[in-house]
Amino acid sequence: MSAGASIQELLKRAEALLAKNRIDTPKLDAEILLARALDKNRSYLMTWPEKVPSNAVVSEFQRWLSRRADCEPVAYILGDQEFYGHLFQVSPAVLIPRPETEHLVEKALGWCRDRGTDSPKILDLCTGSGCVGLTLALELPKASVTLTDLSPEALAVARHNADTHDVDERVRFFEGDLFESLPEGERFDLVLANPPYVEESFRGEMQKDVLDYEPHLALFAQDDGLNLIREIVTQSPKYLNQPGLLAMEMGSGQSARVRSLLGPSWKNPGIIQDLGGHDRIAYAEHQVL
């Protein structure tokens, strides 16, 4: 890929390279990388296809393109990912935020809206980059948010994101497994989680850009993939106000088993499907009548 090539020519060659390396979205990825190298948005590429980028831009684009051709995710190459309209820093220490997880945010916002609650106490377990809890802090300016994660490296990313979005004064961070590091007697209006839920037996079916780059600690769960979800369901009543909402992301084939975990103290259970039609979010209210 030589200097002196136009935007249109660079994109055409980049798309061909990525397609040759079996990248699923070669055109989109090439456009995202070149737009970032130019410090422009993607519409600029369509508006000015004949423009010739500088040698420095082309060199950076080539480096990024080489990494993507090796299946490294675009989000890790660029160091950030958009989620619910907000940009979050990511690193290989955290899962890349995905569109289906936005349903977790939408459920939480809808639950608060239905109850006229604008200052909820929110617990985000297995927070990773913090995208779920911090998005709620941004959408609900009076909310107080607590983030927990087993990984100190992940919490460092979440802290950076809280500071970047200027919500750090309303957010607390606890390092530990699920609830274990929380102060005694803590209660929340919402407990949210996107825990590891992929069964170990599914490793061979996963895409290379996920399996080789994203943190296995945040992907895989023991046994049938539900060991952490079981623990969350079991422990949440101790930490939830009444009524309080529990909402969790899960695997597409796990909804029946997750529903079966919710006993008599859980009311109004439900399942939310993602845009692909897969069961993705399980939720219920904790309310002992």
Residues paired with 123 in a beta bridge? 146, 191
Binding residues for S-adenosyl-L-methionine: 149, 194
Neighbour tally for 208: CB within 10 Å: 12
Return d(Cα 265, Cα 3) in angstroms, integer: 66
**H helix or E strand, kind and range, residue 282:** strand 279-286
Binding residues for substrate: 194-197
Tokens of 120: 């909820």
Q: Exposure of 133 by Cβ count < 10 A (0-12 exposed, 13-18 middle, 19+ buried)?
A: buried
**H helix or E strand, kind and range, residue 171:** strand 171-175
CB burial of 155-191 (b: ≥16 within 10 Å; e: otherwise) equals bbbbebbbeebebbebbbbbeeebbeebeeeeebbbb
Non-local (6+) Cβ contacts of 55 within 8 A are 3
Q: Tell me the CB-side half-sphere exposure of residue 221, using CA atoms within 13 A.
A: 17
**H helix or E strand, kind and range, residue 72:** none
Longest dimension (CA), the chain: 72
Q: Exposure of 264 by Cβ count < 10 A (0-12 exposed, 13-18 middle, 19+ buried)?
A: exposed
CB burial of 54-83 (b: ≥16 within 10 Å; e: otherwise) equals eeebbebbbebbeebbebbbbbbbeebbeb
Binding residues: 149, 194-197
